[in-house]
Chains A and B, each alone.
Chain A
Amino acid sequence: MQRLSDKHKLRITMKNAATLFIITCITVSYGYSQARLTDSIAAVKLEEVVVTATRTEKQLGTLTTPVTLITQKQIKALGAVRLTEVLQEQTGLAINNDHGQGIQMQGFDADYTLIMIDGEPLIGRTAGTLALSRIAVNNIKQIEIVKGPSSSLYGSEALAGVINIITHQPKDDLNGGVNVQYGANQTFNVNGKVGFRHKKLAVSLFADSYQSAGYDLTPTMEGATVEPFRNHTFQAKLQYKLNPKFKFSLSGRYFGESQQQKANIGSNSPVIVSGDGTQTDMNIHAVAEHKLTPNVQFKYKLYHTQYSTRSLLRYEQDQSVYDESFFKQKFSRPEVVANYYINKQHFLTLGIGSTLESVEATRYTTQQRFSTLYAFGQHEWTPIKKLSVITGLRFDQHSVYGNQVSPKLSARFQALPWLAVRGSAGVGFKAPDFRQLYLNFSNAVAGYSVFGTQALATGIEQLNSAGQISAVFADISQFQDLKPESSIAYNIGIETRWKSGLNTSINFFRNDVQNLIETQIVARKTNSQSVFSYANLREVFTQGVEFNGSYRLFKNVKLMAGYQYLIAKDKSVVDQLNNGEVFKRDPQTLVTTRVRPAEYGGLFNRSRHMWNVRLFYEHLRKGFNASLRGIYRGRYGLADMNNNQILDTDNEYVAGYWLWNASLSQRLYKELRAQIGVDNLFGFKNATEIPGIAGRLWYIRVSYQWQKSAPGKTL
């Protein structure tokens, strides 16, 4: 069931049962801007509504940028428990394993996609990736994925795109639900939600507990591939409608996880260290909405979030401490957003805000803080019904790296009733992170040191006064001016909708990225090891095309397919190759030869081809659903094997692979449902190269939903 108002759910079923089959993101397009100052639940809503692309409610079929919408119904059909499982089946997204599972979008690493819950950013990227397994999915109304930069609205991190997780809003009716799921690897998930309204107050509560025994793909080695873990999520939302003009909402979320850790650190004879690692993630969000006039609305928002990790490892032999580390990050943001509906042709969104961030960690000298002041504006222009043009601009003033201007222009034209064209050009950026600014780390074993750009001067000075610096190679003062990484992106797409029930969308994209931050050697120590800091060094590009199609094969069967073609290359490597300056050494014969430009496979960890085929069956009357999904990830570069640091020979690739997932779901009694499923049906494994894939995973789930209509309620 789609998570519209449950009351309307029935009405929709009566009116147009067919609509409920639509699990795709592509639906009826009106080709006309529908931005209006309505409440979140309009009358009968056949059209799916998206908020992330413009910060206002827009019908999916009217957007000027490429957006994927994943509904709650789809999430349920997948039998998914965590966000990672949902996203890995979407076209153009690949799982990125680097200190947690993140998502690769348009060829960008996970660091470059902004992750939000209900429009507010999640934090806690200790090493760049925000682990998506932190997010439970059973209270999600829908997931909105905007591809291409959205820095003109959201600022830093929205460079590759934005993933916004929209959780359920409190509803009018007394409602609730329970899910219990058990599966392979002793994975157990139980969650429940309840919502009600009392007069002007509406409340919804959600709790989720998830635990697993983990798995081990390499039993001969000490420590499991994924160690046992357990986590909890709680979320509460309150809504208070004072009168038609004033609405307040308050929401809070808590996530806490603890996981065992175990490793062998001995080089010859085994030395086992073990302990517990914990992470917590909390946020609180208060919003006041004020409708000043029918055409002007203000939103006052206050958001605070904090994330922390703690890890303690002891030698198993004598329980002495091997390593103790912590990381604490805080983020606060007051923001005011105004929406002004000028007339049918012009709609304006203006916002101003400030973020305050701080971080404390084992590898930072003291607590570090930075702040940003920002303002943004967006103008939506609908000169004729068939055309909409959106212009956006955001200005960020940052306490450390200075000013950043992010413009974006996008448009959509409904050329024919069944054909629409859209295009966008925009600037995205990602601010230097805390590591790049403040890290203060010396590797005791190898003897090298790494300093963030702001910690570099004092770091060098300290090493120097300790007599540990033998030579300084670079002008240290220049490192102070570390610039954000930035991109210029173009997206051009065509959407078609045929009478036969075939819908397609195709999107061409190109991202030119500059000022990528890399480590650079600054000085040499007396132990002849190096001192590193960070500098804007690399330029890369990613380009490709994404295709999505959906087709109703039979009345009850929907077929969806997706494909992405991707090229991502380092521009300086391309230049060096053209100049004949790149070589390779055959690992067997040790003979060195020159690499031809055509041999360059681009950046590591990017698949040139990615496919998916998804089949959904639904028998409404009998309450039966089934799905079969296949996801193909084409071969991608893993590591350099011939001593030139670039991807250029076959043995440097991981072979492409298919994953097949299936699920069956049957209504047993009223809203009591049972679901069984198998992920990775054929048990694909690649222990050494892809440890993130656990092998075949079965699960069974029982869920029960209930609701009581409150009579005489108006919206």
Chain B
Amino acid sequence: MTRFSLIFLMVAGVLLTCTACKKEASETVIPPLETKTHKNLAAPGDVVDRATGKVIQENPYVYFSLEKGTTVSKSENWDIGFKGTSIIFNSGISGSGQAGAVIKTGVFEELTTAPESEEFRQDSNEGLAVPAGSNNGWYNYAGPPSHLITPIAGKVIMVKTFDGKYAKVEILSYYKDAPATPDAFKDQSATYTFRYMYQADGSKNLK
């Protein structure tokens, strides 16, 4: 019995090391993708009159390019648009690109592969790819008395860019400088801090 076990273990051990060697050898050395953090993207929502509920000042979306890692103008190749708590993507009713998005539940680092194409949603009249509203998409609205908007932990937006490449985005804060204890009355709101990973080679790999 013991001898058999020993042999078995040895064989298993050899097999394991071999597969490990083989794998290492066959992989071309790809530098790990970089996770970038974009701070304080200010995208104020429309200004609403308290008494009537009517929009008195309409604000534009603020557009972001994942490839460039900066905000861009609407005429450029943008991927994501921000305004207040609304997030849009460059396709469908929002733009002329082929972007899309889907929210996944998990840890940013653990979601290492982009979903299949059919999983991605586009902004349409039936709904935005990242649904608006509290506890519906990426955020929660606490209501009175704190009135805080908080990004829900574990919600990662898997993104298809305007030109069909893949990325993932995690929104970290809705307030300027991402304060540890935000105050909805003092801190500037609609000011996004988010981190993202962009895969330039067109593959689904997001490791």
Inter-subunit contact A444/B52 (CB<8 Å): yes
B48 within 8 A of A: yes
A447 within 8 A of B: yes
Give the B-binding residues of A (Cβ under 8 A). Answer: 267, 442-448, 470-471, 473, 521, 524, 527-530, 581-585, 587-588, 590, 592-594, 639-645
Inter-subunit contact A590/B172 (CB<8 Å): yes
Minimum CB–CB distance for A180 against chain B, Å: 37
Q: A528-B133, A529-B133, A590-B195 are in contact. List 20 more A-B contacts (CB 8 A).
A: A445-B48, A447-B48, A471-B125, A521-B133, A524-B133, A528-B86, A530-B136, A583-B107, A585-B151, A585-B153, A585-B172, A587-B180, A587-B181, A590-B193, A592-B108, A592-B153, A639-B146, A642-B153, A644-B153, A645-B135
Closest 5 CB pairs of A and B: A583-B154, A444-B53, A530-B133, A587-B180, A585-B153
Q: List the B side residues contacting A582 at CB < 8 Å.
A: 154
Inter-subunit contact B53/A529 (CB<8 Å): no
CA A105 to CA B50, docked complex, whole Å: 39
CA A452 to CA B39, docked complex, whole Å: 40
CB-defined interface of B110-134 with A at 8 Å, one 1/0 digit per residue? 0000000000000001111001111
Given A530-B136, A583-B107: A644 in contact with B50 (beta carbons within 8 A): no
Given A524-B132, A530-B132, A594-B107: A470 in contact with B125 (beta carbons within 8 A): yes
B152 within 8 A of A: yes
Inter-subunit contact A529/B127 (CB<8 Å): no
B30 within 8 A of A: no
Q: List the B side residues contacting A446 at CB < 8 Å.
A: 48
Inter-subunit contact A643/B150 (CB<8 Å): yes
Q: List the A side residues contacting B195 at CB < 8 Å.
A: 590
Size bracket of the B interface: 35 or more
Question: Can you list 26 A-B pairs with a CB-CB distance of less than 8 A?
Answer: A442-B53, A444-B49, A444-B50, A444-B52, A445-B53, A446-B48, A521-B136, A528-B86, A528-B128, A528-B133, A530-B133, A530-B134, A590-B193, A590-B195, A592-B154, A594-B107, A594-B154, A640-B150, A641-B181, A643-B140, A643-B151, A643-B152, A643-B153, A644-B152, A644-B154, A645-B152
B178 within 8 A of A: yes
Inter-subunit contact A528/B132 (CB<8 Å): yes
Inter-subunit contact B127/A471 (CB<8 Å): yes
CA A447 to CA B107, docked complex, whole Å: 32
Inter-subunit contact B132/A590 (CB<8 Å): no
Checking B51, B132, B135, B154 against A529 with a beta-carbon cut-off of 8 angstroms, the contacting residue is B132
Q: List the B side residues contacting A644 at CB < 8 Å.
A: 152-154
Which of B52, B134, B136 has the most C-beta atoms of chain A within 10 angstroms of its own C-beta? B134
B79 within 8 A of A: no
Q: List the A side residues contacting B154 at CB < 8 Å.
A: 581-583, 592, 594, 644
B191 within 8 A of A: no
B96 within 8 A of A: no
Given A524-B127, A528-B128, A530-B136: A581 in contact with B105 (beta carbons within 8 A): yes
Which residue from chain A places its CB closest to the CB of B141 in the assembled complex?
A446
Checking A445, A527, A528 against B50 with a beta-carbon cut-off of 8 angstroms, the contacting residue is A445
CA A583 to CA B104, docked complex, whole Å: 12
